[in-house]
Structure 1
Amino acid sequence: MINADTNPAPATTHRGPSRRQALTGLAAVGSLAALAACAPGSSGGSSSSGDGGGTLRVSTWGNDSRLKLTQQAVAEFQKANPDIKVTVENSEWTSYWDKLATGTAANDSPDVIQMDEAYIAAYGTRGALLDLETVSAQLDLSEMDEKMRDTGLVDGTFVGAPIGTGNFSVGVNPTLLEQAGVAMPDDTTWTWDEFADIAAQVTAALGAQGVYGFDMFGAGTAELGAWVRQFGQEVFPTDDQTAAEPATVASYFEFAKRLVDTGATPPASVQSENTAAALDTTLFATNKSAFHLQFHTQISAYAAASGNELRLLRLPAQQKGESPRMVNKASMYWSIASRTTQSENAAKFVDFMLTDPAATKILTTERGVPAIPSVQEDILPVLDPQAKIALEFTQAITPELVDPPQVTPAGASSWNTDFPTIGTEVLFGRATPADAAERTITAAAGML
């Protein structure tokens, strides 16, 4: 699924809104309707340019490790800008969005906001986020890849500066493949059919030890998005894109059932338990699954839990010779409140956190592989081996990427709970692929 730290960890362990926990915070976003009209691009107050102007409030979510590194980077910013005071307001995932929605509706939003893909449209379309083009003199993102930068657009307005990249990919445990006598696949040519066969071979060889070839498939929003994109379709299409078709979505569910039937993935009950488990107790993290679909910066967390060096592979394609049509996704963003009275100071802060070596060499891949190529090169010497694997994977596939989809629409607050419910019913045999496809398309269309 796409992007929520439901159990926040460093960005090398960054997880998208998983099946583990529903996205509850968006319910609170409805309170934003109480905001007086404040169009993106208007700071809503007088901006300060390094003259103090009170304390710059920065809101973040994450665990103690992320917070500690963030505070170290903030200390470097304050050394370089002694006239700007900064305070970091950190929360765990769910309470973070509750607090942000309440504060924004009360005109008490933090100045700088760590923003997530699943929420950026909900805030951006309500005028709660500043148009960052208005502070381009302080925030220079000219080095960032245009496709990556454009993931911060909401209705054509640049409201989120991408912090890092996330590529939905295949994590692989080479040790398990070796134990199963299965060769490492060529991810530049493999197809989903080949992937299914390889996973089934691993289960056949190691199943007596409780090992599966592939841990779970069939109820993930990121999975579905990647699958239909390979047919030139999108779950949430823009005006110039093709909407996901019933036959395409049905083929996704049919493939999920095939994986179970052939033993490539566990039975539905095991998959369901696995989705509810903490990351370090999942099948992939405990060396009980050779393959796992994930955003690539999670690889360090899984490697730390498994005790093995893990690798990353491209997504399989539908047919030989076809592109897997992988995309960049922002791991998260820095946004600025539209009503801040310190828009220029806030932009200086964001620029420092994204581009200045004094900060980037502290944060490294904490919030994802940096979205700016020169920063990637700066931090490479200080990365651990698994973080280097994530960075090198990003660099290798970047020339192959296609345009990313639009961010999760403002009305799609329940998508990350509605779709997994549908997919799970297929896995348990309570819904047919065709019926589930119709329900999926109806649900998605109703959210646009």
Structure 2
Amino acid sequence: MTDVPQNPSTSSTSTSGPSRRQAVTALAAAGSLTALAACAPGSSGGSSASGDGTLRVSTWGNDSRLKLTQQAAAAFEKANPGIKVSVENSEWTSYWDKLATSTAANDSPDVIQMDEAYIAAYGTRGALLDLGTVGDDLDLSEMDSKVLDTGKVDGKLVGAPIGVGNFSVGVNPVLLQQAGIAMPDDKTWTWEQFRDIAAQVSAKLGAQGVVGFDMYGAGAAEFGAWIRQFEQEVFPRDDETPASVANAQTYFDYADSLVSSGACPQASVQSENTTAALDASLFATNKSAFHLQFHTQISAYAAASGNELKLLRLPAQKSGESPRMVNKASMYWSVSARSKQSAAAAKFIDFMLTNPEATKILTTERGIPAIPKVQEDIASVLTPQSKIALEFSQAIASEVVDPPQVTPAGASAWNTEFTTLGTEQLFGRTSPADAAQNAVTTSKGML
């Protein structure tokens, strides 16, 4: 997950995936959602996804991820001599542009790397194969059932979760030590305590250009985690409670208090940090003691900072309460509904998710594997920093609550919309009360 910008705003990853910097893709902008209906099984027109017999696999990610994926694909080819694989890689924004175009033209890749923000948009329109129909070619029986269920859309499994990410607090122990502050107890701390600690870091190290906490107030993942602590959801299922305006306002009020207390820098600095490359961000350059991210990203930050970084649980609203953290699917493997090589595609996914010849290459690149046996297989080959991420996942495994449903089909632009309204509030152009009303109205409107 190392290509994900520093503050992912999905509930993904993409881990997954989208961040405050994401653009609204052609999937929505070009009206391609309507065109996807033509891709449903049984529709007329279009060719198979891979007419020449080569299994086309679409992915997004940086060069490091691409090389690892190609190595794993080569191992699959060696184990399956009759199947050739072509990996088609793009960066995040162009990936969705290309996928929308190819799907509308009935020319989708056979295997599609899918994100939480878009799986419902594609799945509800019949563009993705029901993986429950592929038989023994894909065995996901040992995967965490609650994580596996996040790949279901309208009752059909249209995506096999590749790994999981936990939205958590990254911490730089070196900066805490320099500030004379002990490592917080993340089993008991609250958001108020977190703010106070961050403000102390800023006060002690501010002359060196260091802040306690780099940014907060315009990330959809932050907002989702905050609302969940009130036992509400931004996009609730039928049996869940939607976010209230009152609870939404507490999020924006808290963001303001971080700035006024000195815990976070001014809005202009936060905005610049948001658009910075990961290795140039405040947390990666040892200029911020705390940062929120999906936890497997800690390896990328550690590589950039040169320090061993730690992971902490999210603070809670009250001491002793659960922070209601979740296992979020980092991303998914899906199969095009029009692929004529669905059996080969299923075998490929099974190999990538379960076979040690692939999992020991990919390790935690796309999140912590959601299959316990695979976690055991890869443990011996992980870097020290990756082991920290794996051990963190295992430590909180008994504490997490059920993950939210994936972003609904009509809400793929939520991350971008929330970032806009959150940024307006940080700069003082709207009040916390208005931002809360706008956030709730916008999320409900997308349903």
Partner of 2:123: 124
> Greater shift after overlay, 415-424 or 279-288?
415-424
Uncovered stretches (5+) of structure 2, i.e. residues with no partner: 7-11
Question: Tell me, what secondary structure is at the counterpart of 1:293?
Answer: strand
The alignment partner of 2:230 has SS state of: coil
Paired with 1:131 and 1:282, the residues of 2 have a C-alpha distance of 40
**CA contact 1:58–1:89 (8 Å) conserved in 2:** yes
Distance, in Å, in 1 between the alignment partners of 2:15 and 2:405 is 21
CA 1:259–1:161 in structure 2 vs 1: closer, same or farther (change >3 Å)?
A: same
Aligned 1:174-193 pairs, distance under 5 A: 174-193=173-192
| TM-score, with length taken from structure 1 | 0.93
CA contact (8 A) 1:325 1:402 kept: yes
Once residues 159 and 36 of structure 1 are traced to their aligned partners in structure 2, the CA distance between those partners, rounded to angstroms, is 15
Distance 1:325 1:87 in 2: 40
* Cα distance in structure 1, aligned partners of 2:13 and 2:395: 18
What is residue 78 of structure 1 aligned with on the other side? Answer: 77
Shift of 1:414: 2.1
Instruction: Output the amino acid matched with 2:346.
Output: A
- Give the aligned partner of residue 103 of structure 2: 104
Query: How many Å separate the matches in 1 of 2:110 and 2:259?
Result: 48
1:17 alignment counterpart: 18
Partner of 1:114: helix, strand, or coil? strand
Alpha-carbon distance, 1:30 to partner: 3.0
1:392 matched to 2:391: yes
Amino acid at match of 1:19: R
Instruction: Classify 1:13/1:419 alpha carbon distance in 2 versus 1 (closer, same or farther; 3 Å).
Output: closer
What is aligned with 2:285?
286
What does the per-residue CA deviation read over 1:77-109, in whole Å, with 9 as the maximum and x for residues that have no partner?
111110112111111212211111111111111
Q: For residue 325 of structure 2, what is the aligned residue in structure 1?
A: 326
Map residues 23-34 of structure 1 onto 2, 5 A cutoff.
23-27=24-28, 30-34=31-35
Question: What is the RMSD of the two structures over their aligned residues, measured on CA atoms?
Answer: 2.4
- Aligned CA distance change for structure 1 residues 40 and 309 (closer, same or farther; 3 Å): farther
Identity of aligned residues (%): 76
Aligned to 2:344: 345
Counterpart in the other structure of 1:158: 157
Please tell me whether the aligned partners of residues 40 and 129 of structure 1 are also in contact (alpha carbons under 8 angstroms): no
- 1:188 and 1:235 map into 2 onto residues whose CA distance is 25
- Counterpart of 1:59 in structure 2 is 58
Mapping 1:6-405, distance limit 5 Å: 16-27=17-28, 30-35=31-36, 39=40, 54-405=53-404
SS at match of 1:108: coil
Structure-2 separation of matches of 1:219 and 1:343: 40
Using a 3 Å threshold, how does the CA distance of structure 1 residues 46 and 139 change in structure 2: closer, same or farther? Answer: farther
Q: Tell me the SS of whatever aligns to 1:237.
A: coil
Native 8 Å contact 1:369 1:376 kept in 2: yes
Q: Is the 8 A contact 1:12 1:298 kept in 2?
A: no
Residue in structure 1 matched with residue 9 of structure 2 by the alignment:
none
Task: Give the TM-score of the pair, scaled to structure 2.
Answer: 0.94
SS in 1 for 2:291: strand
